[in-house]
Copies of this chain bind each other. A is one copy, B any other.
Amino acid sequence: MIRAGIIGATGYAGAELVRILLAHPEVEVVWYGSRSYVDQPFARQYGNFLKLVDNVCSDDNLEALSHEADVIFTATPQGLCASLVNDDILSRCKIIDLSADFRLKDVSVYEEWYKIDHAAPQYLDEAVYGLCEINREDVKKARLIANPGCYTTCSILSLYPLVKEGLIDPDTIIIDAKSGTSGAGRGAKVANLYCEVNENIKAYGVTNHRHTPEIEEQLGYAAGHPLTLNFTPHLVPMNRGILVTAYASLKGQNGDAGLPTADQIHAVYKKYYGDEPFIRLLDDSVTAETRWVEGSNYVDIGFRIDPRTHRVIVMGALDNLVKGAAGQAVQNMNLAFGLPETCGLEMPPLFP
């Protein structure tokens, strides 16, 4: 059994890790880290785990934990993982960081967008960006994995094949994203009260959301050169789910006459994702909807071509707490520990 520790277990993503790992046949959770609730029963904060988790919460002592665990998940605010990680710890166990600390290779970009100093830039080179479908082989060998953001996972996976194959003009990419409220965390803020979120939709972080450079970096690798794009997240009155609606101009070899057809685009998606266990490619009779992925590790991806504007509209949906956080972290763990990639992640989506 793999011994797993969770730092930040009482956040929504941390608790989702608990849910998934409890049902994982090869894992035992040995540490429920939560600075705010040390020595209190974990199940008192998350009543769903009554009778399932008897443990009390521990602090966030990464050093101590590294002696007891084979893998550590850090589901903590930006900066914490970077401030605690060291060679000693990494020599004993693998770390899967759900924060942004090791997602961006360029420390100056990190510091500009996150407004904090990076405490461990020496690990940026080593850290593997854990988007399994794209970096699978690197993840298998990694000891420090940067688990991608929720919006970014959905955005990158939705657009990656088109960028990689040069079917769209990268400078025209606009990503309009919508997220359920669990993405905003469990902190007690007026803006996230029921009555403030319910019966409302709003954009936030317009032009400056922190997931922007992460998407740009990864899609830039696919394009072969840096790119900039617009990313606008919205807060939707629902618990879970992210929907990405992405726009880009199609690019042809020979002008408009050479624009890719729907069949060609379907073929490209199939080429990249046809064998992916967690990506479901949609046919033209449906569009992506968050209800169909809730509680699961699936990403649903589909598209439409607009013959009038020569743009493609790609829509991707995932559960922000699963494929957008905890599920992908476990997928990364499976890869890094040589387990079947889907182990413990095959729960069907819950609907309604």
Contacts and interface: CB of A to CB of B under 8 A. Distances in A.
Contacts of A176: 176, 232, 245, 247
A178 B178 contact: yes
A236 interface: yes
B202 A351 contact: no
Given A23-B347, A206-B315, A230-B306, A291 B238 contact: no
Contacts of A56: none
B295 A295 contact: yes
Interface residues on A, range: 35 or more
Interface string A270-289: 00000000001010011111
A240 interface: yes
Contact of A347 (B186, B282, B311, B347): B347
A197 interface: yes
A91 interface: no
Interface in A180-195: 180-182, 186-190, 192-195
Q: How many copies does the complex hold?
A: 4
Interface in A188-224: 188-190, 192-204, 206-207
Nearest to A238: B199
A16 to B, nearest CB: 9
Contact of A350 (B19, B181, B234, B304): B19
Contacts of A18: 348
Contacts of A12: 195, 352
Interface string A169-181: 0000010101011
Contact of A294 (B199, B238, B311): B199
A347 B18 CA distance: 12
A290 B273 CA distance: 37
Contacts of A304: 206-207
A241 interface: yes
B346 A241 contact: no
A255 B206 CA distance: 24
Nearest to A45: B190
A352 B19 CA distance: 11
Contacts of A230: 247, 306, 309, 311, 313
Contact of A313 (B182, B194, B206, B306): B206
A193 B186 contact: yes
Interface string A299-343: 010001111110101010100000000000000000000000000
A161 interface: no
B290 A201 contact: yes
Interface stretch (A47-55, A74-82, A128-136, A137-145): A47-55
A148 interface: no
Given A176-B245, A194-B197, 12 more contacts: A47-B291, A49-B349, A176-B247, A188-B190, A195-B239, A199-B294, A201-B241, A201-B289, A202-B289, A203-B243, A206-B287, A230-B247
8 contacts: A23-B348, A47-B292, A51-B280, A181-B193, A195-B239, A196-B291, A203-B243, A295-B295
